[in-house]
């Protein structure tokens, strides 16, 4: 077996598992964040569920540790009270990013399993653990039973050969991989990375690369721990840990050999993490702000690199640099080593540990017309604010903050650039333009089609993060697609019974359940897509919301506004306008059972 098959088999009742098997797996660490945590509590209470093992159950507050949003504060307090009443450990607003805490505290290590409401839980692949972001229903089920159902994925092996170029950061490496594979090629796969240079990757570097598995569409990126990482995990866990690794004769769906010596410093253009270019292609692009942090690049090595560049320098006039360490442990190390002083002397804002710009409500958000260079993992429209966000390494971000424009660490000008009065007036004008019942359920549905010909519609486009504090499903429908260009009025125009048809990778991004429930609130009957974000697919199935996977629409000549019939049992889709039909993937037994049950509970 390969690495993920080994881990899943070890946590199931089976000695051997293979791709496609649907199994129950024991979860070693079961966490909920301040985002989603209140909904987990609601699911537990509404369904009269007990907690299986409080020693394996955790809350982590990392989305809004500044407490700057009243609704987040309310949700956090709901979680605090539930934790007190049930003896659950809670990592409060002073601790930092939950997935990093799981690694720091030895709760995630080689061969272990963990789930959380964080879509970047696959970060845990950095230490050879299985981590998965899931919706609030899944997490509630895990808290109650200690297990979740999971479909064993196919695996891909990446062999990185060649010599790593000098100065090439881990962020550059993963941006190069995104350039190779895009957002769809590895969709739904577990990815294992090997190579001589890979064996030298530090824990911080592995975390950076593993954290962007979600942006590549992969279920997880897994590394086999080296000696140093095993020693780290054992010291943190306070016990001996068995190294779990793939068998020598393990099988993979695909194997890719990639020359790392050809990798270059890259940035992601605004709007899509996979749209990466050589940083030289966007050099001299003037910026308004810079951000260093997130679960991808808020580690000690990242902040040391930034400090080495910023030492003795000042942030360019008119530019704001925001820095957020990943955990309180990292924050304290920065304080002890004088790094905080370097940041403050350079003119940066340093916040307490947490997710920062990815989560609405904490530092890192930008405004309409603002150009930001960021170390985050996502730059979907609206994710980190209303402006344009370029993704880059900590070295590139720190250098750009000093230069006033996008540049590399080895090409910082003697004098920073500034905006002229004419440029400021022109920018202001552009900003103005930018701101503007329990019974057997039917297995055949008919409805009018909304045919949206777009790939990679992420959860921020479906249900923006500024609405995440909403827990009442009835309130969610009005915000559906209000961040998807051209469909901002979808919620006003859609009718109960309509069916949405999209293209590849629908629902990529965050783990938010609201991105499913908003369609239920509007009475949308089903969604048809070529493929789905891994977490979104689970959330929809667990919520008994029909999602169907198709391979091509050519057979039925579908156009926007047509009426179609969809048979969940047989997988037959008929275009009622021309009577043409096609086959799609029918409901699995698990999907049908949950659908007829009205949901996971």
| C-beta atoms surrounding 234 within 10 Å | 15
* pLDDT at position 448 over 90: yes
Examine the domain organization and report whether 467 and 403 are in the same domain. no
Paired strand residues for 226: none
Position 270 in a domain: no
- Look up residue 35 and give its two tokens: 């985002």
Final residue belonging to a domain, choices 233, 262, 291: 262
Q: Mark which of 411, 433, 455 sits at the end of a domain.
A: 433
CA atoms within 13 A on the CB side of 576: 12
pLDDT digits (tens, 9 = 90+) for 38-80: 999 999 999 999 999 999 999 998 887 776 667 778 888 999 9
CB 219 within 8 A of CB 124: no
Give the pLDDT score at 435.
55
What angle, rounded to 10 degrees, do the helices at 300-310 and 394-403 form? 30
What pairs with residue 449 in β-bridges? 499
* Rounded distance between C-alpha atoms, residue 161 and residue 133, angstroms: 31
So what's the pLDDT on residue 171?
95
pLDDT at 436: 53
273 domain residue, yes or no: no
Q: Is residue 268 part of a domain?
A: no
Give the model's pLDDT for residue 509.
85
Q: In terms of domains, do 256 and 285 share one?
A: no
pLDDT score, position 437: 47
**What pLDDT score was predicted for residue 432?**
65
Lowest mean pLDDT among 53-67, 332-346, 449-463: 53-67
Question: Given this model, what pLDDT does residue 585 score?
Answer: 94
| pLDDT range class, residue 180, cuts 50, 70, 90 | very high
What is the DSSP secondary-structure string of 110-157? TT-EEEES-TTGGGGGGGT-EEEE--HHHHHHHHHHSEEEEEPPPEEE
Entry field: residues in the chain: 601
pLDDT of residue 373: 94
Q: In angstroms, how far is CA 406 from the centroid of its own chain? A: 25
Residue 353 contacts residue 328 (beta carbons within 8 Å): yes
Q: Please, are residues 121 and 115 in contact by the beta-carbon 8 Å criterion?
A: yes
Say how many Å lie between the first and final Cα of the chain, rounded. Answer: 33
Helix locations, 380-447, DSSP H: 394-403, 421-434
Q: Are residues 369 and 454 in the same domain?
A: no
- Average pLDDT of the chain is 92
Phi/psi at 525 (5° precision)? -85, -30
Classify residue 267: in a domain, yes or no. Answer: no
Our count of domains for the chain comes to 3
Mean pLDDT on 355-381: 79
Residue 272: inside a domain, yes or no?
no
- Clarify whether residues 424 and 470 are in a common domain: no
Q: Tell me: the pLDDT tens digits for 546-591? A: 999 999 999 999 999 999 999 999 999 999 999 999 999 999 989 9
Q: What is the CATH number of the domain that holds 74?
A: 3.30.499.10
CATH of the domain at 531: 3.20.19.10
Angle between helices 203-211 and 300-310 (to 10 degrees): 100
Does residue 269 belong to any structural domain of this protein? no
Q: 184 and 320 share a domain?
A: no
Domain end point (choices 387, 410, 433): 433
Handedness of CA 520, 522, 523, 529 (dihedral sign): negative
Question: Mapping DSSP to helix (H, G, I), strand (E, B) and coil, where does residue 451 land?
Answer: strand
Whether residue 512 has pLDDT greater than 80: yes
CB 173 within 8 A of CB 209: yes
Which pLDDT value is given to residue 434?
58
Residues 103 and 82 in one domain: yes
Does the residue 274 lie in any domain? no
381-438 confidence digits (pLDDT tens): 777 777 889 999 999 999 999 999 999 999 999 999 888 777 777 777 766 665 554 4
Give the pLDDT of residue 363.
78
Distance CA 268, CA 278 (A): 9
- Distance between CA atoms of residues 273 and 458, nearest Å: 12
- Please indicate, yes or no, whether residues 375 and 411 belong to a single structural domain of this protein: yes
Q: Is the domain of 46 the same as that of 137?
A: yes
Q: At what angle do helices 203-211 and 170-181 cross, to 10 degrees?
A: 30
Is 372 found in the same domain as 311? yes
Q: List the structure tokens of 527.
A: 């969604």
416 in the same domain as 286: yes
Q: Assess whether 456 and 411 both reside in one domain.
A: no
Does 60 share its domain with 184?
A: yes
Q: 3-state class of 454 per DSSP?
A: coil
Structural domain of 495: 444-597
Residues 119-173: tens digit of each pLDDT: 889 999 999 999 999 989 999 999 999 999 999 999 999 999 999 999 999 999 9
Query: What are residue 339's DSSP bridge partners?
Result: none
Q: Is residue 226 part of a domain?
A: yes
């Amino acid at each position: 077996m390969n690495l993920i098959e080994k881990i899943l088999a070890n946590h199931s009742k089976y000695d051997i598992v293979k791709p496609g098997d649907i199994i129950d797996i024991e979860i070693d660490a079961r966490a909920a964040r301040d985002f989603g945590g209140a909904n987990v509590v609601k699911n537990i209470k509404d369904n009269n569920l007990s907690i299986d093992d409080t020693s394996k159950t955790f809350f982590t507050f990392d989305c809004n540790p500044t407490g700057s949003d009243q609704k987040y504060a309310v949700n956090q307090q709901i979680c605090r009270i539930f934790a007190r009443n049930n003896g659950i450990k809670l990592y409060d607003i002073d601790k930092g990013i939950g997935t990093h805490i799981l690694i720091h505290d030895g709760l995630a290590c080689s061969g272990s399993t963990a789930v959380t409401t964080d879509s970047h839980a696959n970060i845990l692949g950095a230490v050879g653990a299985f981590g998965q972001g899931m919706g609030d229903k899944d997490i509630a089920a895990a808290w109650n039973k200690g297990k979740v159902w999971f479909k064993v994925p196919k695996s891909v092996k990446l062999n990185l050969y060649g010599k790593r170029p000098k100065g090439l950061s881990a962020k550059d490496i993963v941006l190069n991989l995104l350039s190779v594979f895009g957002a769809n090629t590895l969709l739904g796969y577990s990815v294992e990375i090997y190579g001589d240079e890979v064996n030298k990757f530090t824990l911080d570097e592995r975390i950076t690369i593993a954290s962007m598995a979600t942006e590549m569409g992969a279920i997880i990126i897994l590394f086999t721990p080296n000696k140093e990482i095993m020693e780290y995990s054992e010291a943190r866990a306070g016990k001996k840990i068995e190294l779990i690794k793939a068998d020598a004769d393990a099988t993979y769906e695909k194997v890719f050999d990639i020359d790392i010596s050809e990798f270059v410093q890259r940035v992601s253009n605004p709007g899509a993490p996979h749209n990466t270019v050589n940083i030289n292609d966007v050099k001299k692009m003037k910026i308004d702000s810079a951000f260093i942090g997130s679960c991808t690049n808020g580690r000690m090595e990242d902040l040391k690199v930034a400090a080495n560049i910023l030492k003795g320098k000042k942030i360019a006039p008119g530019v704001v640099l925001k820095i957020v360490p990943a955990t309180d442990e990292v924050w304290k190390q920065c304080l002890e080593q004088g790094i905080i002083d370097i940041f403050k002397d350079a003119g940066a804002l340093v916040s307490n540990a947490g997710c920062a710009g990815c989560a609405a409500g904490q530092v890192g958000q930008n405004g309409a017309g603002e150009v930001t260079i960021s170390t985050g993992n996502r730059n979907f429209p609206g994710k980190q604010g209303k402006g344009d966000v370029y993704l880059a390494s900590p070295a590139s971000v720190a250098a750009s903050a000093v230069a006033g424009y996008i540049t590399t660490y080895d090409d910082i000008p003697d004098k920073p650039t500034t905006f002229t009065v004419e440029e400021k007036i022109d920018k202001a004008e552009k900003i103005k333009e930018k701101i503007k019942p329990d019974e057997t359920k039917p297995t055949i549905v008919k409805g009018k089609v909304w045919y949206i010909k777009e790939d990679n519609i992420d959860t921020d486009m479906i249900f923006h993060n500024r609405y995440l504090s909403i827990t009442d499903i009835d309130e969610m429908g009005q915000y559906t697609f209000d961040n998807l260009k051209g469909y901002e009025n979808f919620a006003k125009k859609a009718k109960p019974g309509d069916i949405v048809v999209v293209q590849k990778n629908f629902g990529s991004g965050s783990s938010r359940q609201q991105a499913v429930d908003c369609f239920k609130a509007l009475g949308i009957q089903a969604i048809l897509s070529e493929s789905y974000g891994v977490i979104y697919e689970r959330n929809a199935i667990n919520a008994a919301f029909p999602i169907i996977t198709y391979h091509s629409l050519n057979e039925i000549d579908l156009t926007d506004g047509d009426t179609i019939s969809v048979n969940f049992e047989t997988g037959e889709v008929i275009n009622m306008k021309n009577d043409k039909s096609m086959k799609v993937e029918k409901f699995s037994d698990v999907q049908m059972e949950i659908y007829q049950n009205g949901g996971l509970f």
